[in-house]
């Protein structure tokens, strides 16, 4: 028995493929409660067989916040720490002890390390810190999608749970079709919410609805509450991608430069512009902006941080640019640096081999 009563809670639908792995991971908790929202593949039965307490209810019309709040209602009132996860997520062993070590009486939430994606070679891709572990009372989930915790009154302090590591291993075939209508609903319900306005513009970008993307993200940038530079820079980068998608490369370049000015501490804007210049074979520009990116050595802990700028890409682009400008020694050094970060990549292996022959 630990120092605190810990309960994991989750929502699910048709995720029997993850049930055993998830229960193996969540077994350090005192209780596991699940709201199943309509599975037909045997998920509730499998979870019950593994010891979870499963309630089956249909949430209609579907909203993530309603489902999360209903699942939270299933958590016993005497719980000290609520741990919200999804079935495609896995805690690494020892998370319970690390969480209890960090938690303090009266705390509101815990922040902990989250690996959202993995690269093909198994190395970590996108990594940031999240805060879906919280106290039992005083909070509820809000927003139809990309839901977050909202507090009634002043929440207790947030603790930093070093050693708690949650990994995301999703089903790549799972559809994102519901995200766009739910985001449009979220923005309609709260037009002044800058966060979901940003997410809506990003979703339009994913779907290559370039004009809608540009309009939504320009609106985001004009909002009084849109003050977080990292997210503002992301909106500028997505606007740039939309202009590039429309074939307006000068506008794309200008918006990438605005993103760099907004958040010069991030690698992503520099790398986006380097890639644009790579496509135009402007090799000195590629070298300049990849060099700027590599001068940033501290990886941010927010979701804005992407995998590629912190992998082999900056060195790979530099190697190609050095080669095209006749600097073979520098090209080889950059190719070797890229290979260190992605040693199983056959193209990078071949680049090093060919450059070493020069």
Q: What pTM was computed for the model?
A: 0.88
**N-term to C-term CA, the chain:** 65
| Helix pair 229-245, 210-222: axis angle to 10 deg | 150
- Length of the chain counted residue by residue: 358
Using omega within 30 degrees of 0 as the cis cutoff, is the peptide bond preceding 28 cis?
no
- What residues contact residue 217 under an 8 Å CB cut-off, 6+ apart? 198, 201, 202, 235, 236, 238, 239, 242
**Secondary structure (DSSP) of 72-114:** HHTS-TT-SEEEE--TTEEEPTTHHHHHHHH--TT--EEEEEE
Per-residue pLDDT of the chain (358 residues; tens, 9 = 90+): 578 999 999 999 999 999 999 999 999 999 999 999 999 999 999 999 999 999 999 999 999 999 999 999 999 999 999 999 999 999 999 999 999 999 999 999 999 999 999 988 888 999 999 999 999 999 999 999 999 999 998 889 999 999 999 999 998 887 777 899 999 999 999 999 999 999 999 999 999 999 999 999 999 999 999 999 999 999 999 999 999 999 999 999 999 999 999 999 999 999 999 999 999 999 999 999 999 999 999 998 888 889 999 999 999 999 999 999 999 999 999 999 999 999 999 999 999 999 998 6
Sheet containing strand 81-84, strands side by side: 53-56, 31-36, 6-12, 81-84, 127-134, 109-115, 158-168, 89-91
pLDDT score recorded for residue 358: 65
Dihedral over alpha carbons 127, 130, 133, 134 (to 10 degrees): 170
User: What is the β-pairing status of strands 81-84 and 127-134?
Assistant: antiparallel
Quick one: which of 180, 174, 181, 178 has its CA closest to 14? Answer: 174
List Cβ neighbours of 255 (8 Å cut-off, separation of 6 or more): 236, 237, 239, 240, 243
């Amino acid at each position: 028995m630990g120092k605190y009563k810990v309960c994991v809670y989750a929502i699910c639908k048709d995720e029997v493929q993850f049930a055993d792995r998830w229960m193996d991971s969540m077994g350090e908790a005192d209780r596991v409660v699940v709201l199943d929202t309509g599975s037909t593949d045997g998920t509730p039965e499998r979870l019950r067989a593994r010891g979870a307490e499963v309630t089956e209810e249909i949430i209609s019309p579907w909203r993530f916040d309603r489902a999360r709040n209903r699942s939270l209602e299933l958590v016993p009132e005497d719980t000290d720490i609520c741990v919200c996860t999804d079935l495609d997520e896995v805690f690494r062993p020892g998370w319970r002890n690390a969480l209890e070590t960090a938690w303090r009486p009266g705390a509101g939430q815990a922040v902990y390390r989250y690996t959202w994606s993995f690269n093909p070679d198994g190395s970590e891709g996108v990594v940031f810190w999240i805060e879906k572990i919280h106290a039992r009372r005083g909070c509820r989930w809000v927003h139809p999608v990309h839901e977050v915790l909202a507090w009634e009154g002043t929440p207790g302090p947030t603790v930093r749970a070093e050693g708690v590591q949650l990994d995301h291993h999703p089903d790549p075939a799972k559809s994102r079709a519901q995200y766009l209508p739910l985001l449009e609903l979220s923005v309609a319900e709260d037009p002044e919410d800058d966060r979901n306005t940003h997410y809506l513009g990003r979703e339009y970008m994913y779907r290559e609805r370039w004009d809608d993307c540009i309009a939504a993200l320009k609106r985001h940038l004009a909002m009084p509450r849109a003050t977080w530079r990292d997210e503002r820079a992301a909106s500028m980068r997505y606007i740039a991608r939309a202009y590039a998608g429309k074939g307006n490369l000068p506008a794309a370049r200008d918006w990438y430069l605005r993103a760099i000015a907004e958040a010069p501490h991030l690698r992503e804007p520099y790398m986006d512009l380097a890639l644009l210049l790579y496509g135009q074979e402007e090799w000195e520009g590629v070298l300049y902006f990849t060099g700027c990116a590599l001068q940033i050595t501290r990886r941010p802990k927010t979701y804005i941080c992407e995998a590629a700028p912190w992998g082999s890409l900056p060195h790979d682009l530099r190697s190609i640019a050095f080669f095209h400008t006749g600097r073979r020694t520098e090209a080889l050094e950059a190719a070797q640096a890229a290979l260190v970060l992605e040693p199983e990549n056959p193209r990078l292996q071949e680049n090093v081999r060919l450059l070493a022959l020069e």
